[in-house]
Amino acid sequence: MSTIREVAIRAGVSSTTVSHVINNTRFVSEEVRQRVQAAMIELGYHPNALARSLRRGETNTLGLILPDSANPFFAEIGHSVETAAFSHGYNVILCNTDGDVDRERTYVDVLLKKQVDGIVFVAAGERSDSISHILKLEIPIVVVDRDLPEVQLDTVLSDNYQGGYLATQHLINLGHRRIACISGPSHLNPSALRVTGYKQALLDAHIPVYDHLMRQGNFHPSSGWQATLDLLTLPEKPTAIFACNDLMAMGVLRAAAECGVRVPQELAVMGYDDIELSSYTTPALSTVRQPKAEIGQTAVRMVLERIQNKDIPPRRELHPAQVIVRGTCGGQQ
């Protein structure tokens, strides 16, 4: 690879002049500028963008930490973050933790060594241990989809309580009274809030909350499938199932088909997230929409604002949820 000194010799100027042409840091005559640029082309010289950015104290790079990049919900969040960052001239380094806290800590260290300008962070759990040293170094960070009450950080959330409430209320309005709920992991507050909303909607409609109609899943299709097989063995089967994410709802649909239970005639199914795949099930899945594009755009906007001004108070933005009615609840929207 050619060096800046070789470019200077070819162009008949000093290395300092070549640097000024590359960085546009001082006036250089057009004739000299053209000689330098021609020498760069002839020698195939490419400025070291990383070195230049480090000298300026920035890399135009953001880190993105996700707990499960195979989950379409997080994949769509990641896509929106990358698109928004790219539109502002930033690259994104994606790190997938698989929900493992040790792996999360490792990736945090990797991003710090890469000297990213900021981090968009979806935590593996509800603790802030993995980002404690980020806070000490004052690296701009925005937390998405998780509430970390131990620390004051910029946070972007959707209203999970509202979403659980609206999903259950929709099923109640269709006449259902035996509504089962398949939750996600209990240690994650998005899942817990959706279940709280489910229970409150039942109570507000004077419908008892029955423990035997509740099952815990892990946000993967197999857990929705297994929970539904179990629920369909009850003497009084549920007439509706609210699964706390779309992947588990797809497991519900498979279990219903295997058991010969017709959806929606004998069993209404409601998911959560409105991933792109949810509109391609048969019947198409009714669900609760999280505004993933808006969440990703908000996270990028907030982290870039934090990069520009680290002294602004921590902010918290809560996006509303919306019920999307399709075929699995008994009618198209």
pLDDT of residue 57: 60
CATH code assigned to 4-47: 1.10.260
- Residue 19 to residues 5, 11, 13, 16, 283: CA-CA distances in angstroms? 10, 12, 11, 5, 63
Which pLDDT score, from 0 to 100, does residue 120 have? Answer: 96
Query: Is 160-290+324-329 the same fold as 61-158+292-319?
Result: yes
User: For the sheet containing 154-158, what is the strand order?
Assistant: 91-96, 61-66, 118-121, 141-144, 154-158, 316-319
Q: In this predicted structure, what is the pLDDT of residue 68?
A: 92
pLDDT band at 11 (very low <50, low <70, confident <90, very high): very high
In whole numbers, what is the pLDDT of the chain averaged over residues? 91
pLDDT at position 186 is 82
Q: What does the pLDDT read at residue 224? A: 98
Q: Please tell me the pTM assigned to this model.
A: 0.82
Q: Which CATH class is domain 61-158+292-319?
A: alpha beta
Supply the pLDDT for residue 138.
77
Fold for domain 160-290+324-329? Answer: Rossmann fold (3.40.50)
At 323, give phi and psi (nearest 5°): -75, 130
Residue 51 CA neighbour count, 13 Å, CB half: 6
Q: Where are the beta strands (DSSP E) in 196-275?
A: 214-216, 240-243, 268-270
Lowest mean pLDDT segment, chosen from 48-62, 84-98, 268-282 = 48-62
115 vs 201 pLDDT, higher one = 201
Q: Any idea which of 27-31, 127-131, 189-193 has the lowest mean pLDDT?
A: 127-131
pLDDT, position 135: 73
Sketch the domain layout of the chain as residue ranges. Answer: 4-47, 61-158+292-319, 160-290+324-329
**Is residue 54 predicted with pLDDT exceeding 80?**
no
